[in-house]
Amino acid sequence: MRKLLKIRHWVQLTFFIISSFLFYLFISNTLLIIHKFCPYSLICFGTISLKQGFYLYPLSFLIFAILTALVAWFGRFFCGFICFLGTYQEYLYKLIHRETRHFIKIDHKKEIVFGSLKYIVFLATIILSFMGLSRIFMGFCPIVAIGWIKSIGLASIIILAIITIAGALIERFWCRFLCPYAALMNIISYLGKILRIQAFYIQITKSSCLNCGLCNKACPMNIDLTKDPIIKNPNCIKCMRCIEECPTIDAINWR
């Protein structure tokens, strides 16, 4: 399991470097469009493209189809391994806070309430897409904002400032409360449970657990890991931080 942790860090860093390079190519006008590399772009401008008679970007559809389908088996691994914005928030938080624990602790009940905001954002993007008004959301999309950094608008400046400031105080603020793709992945996870798909979960062996609570303090998604021995919470991003912080070897494993 410790080897998987190292692999995860290297995979995460690799995708972060690749994403940064793509942003550089776009900003330097070498790459014409960058949004099609985002898996959620199919929702953002997919419907409006069809209404206007344009074909969807094949790459956008392929990325969306593969990553979204894999959620049923691996959960929100995209957030913990691939997503540029997720990695940016993680690195930012680690840079400011040395300890792997929450600087601002939010009660688990309040976490559920605040976490429901991303479903509202998701629903809004769907409605705007069908109305042909996707550009309204794209004006607030942090990925688009970074890509269009040379001609950034006020709305983009505000959203990037919120994500950066809030992300420095609350770990993975965007992932937990606002990301519409996170909401979609959670819905896919629920559908996977209904279809009884054998998914991968983090499992805690109670007989080996010391009840020290370090796993709870380390979880960037503020999941209550003491509630059930098998962590089926769809917000789990498979970052394995709980395994990294656990003082007992093999007390927390993959199921």
Q: Is residue 239 part of a domain?
A: no
Strand order in the sheet with 230-231: 230-231, 202-204, 252-254
- Indicate the residue type of 15: F
Q: Is residue 232 part of a domain?
A: no
Query: What does each of the 255 residues of the chain score in pLDDT, given as a tens digit?
Result: 667 778 899 999 999 999 888 888 887 777 777 767 788 877 776 655 555 545 556 777 788 889 889 999 999 999 999 999 999 999 999 999 877 778 888 988 999 999 999 999 999 988 887 777 777 777 778 887 777 776 777 777 888 899 999 999 999 999 999 999 999 999 999 999 899 888 899 999 888 888 888 988 899 999 999 888 899 999 999 999 998 888 888 888 887
Q: Is residue 138 part of a domain?
A: yes
Q: Is residue 221 part of a domain?
A: no
Residue that has been written with the tokens 């088996």 in this structure: 73
At residue 168, φ and ψ (nearest 5 deg) are -75, -25
Domain count along the chain: 1
Please choose, from the candidates 185, 73, 173, the residue with its C-alpha nearest in 3D space to the C-alpha of residue 119.
Answer: 185
Say how far apart CA 230 and CA 19 lie, in whole Å: 33
Residue that has been written with the tokens 């993975």 in this structure: 172
Q: Is residue 238 part of a domain?
A: no
How far, in whole angstroms, is CA 63 from its chain's centroid?
A: 15
Q: What is the domain extent for residue 27?
A: 2-197
Give the predicted TM-score (pTM) of the model. Answer: 0.88
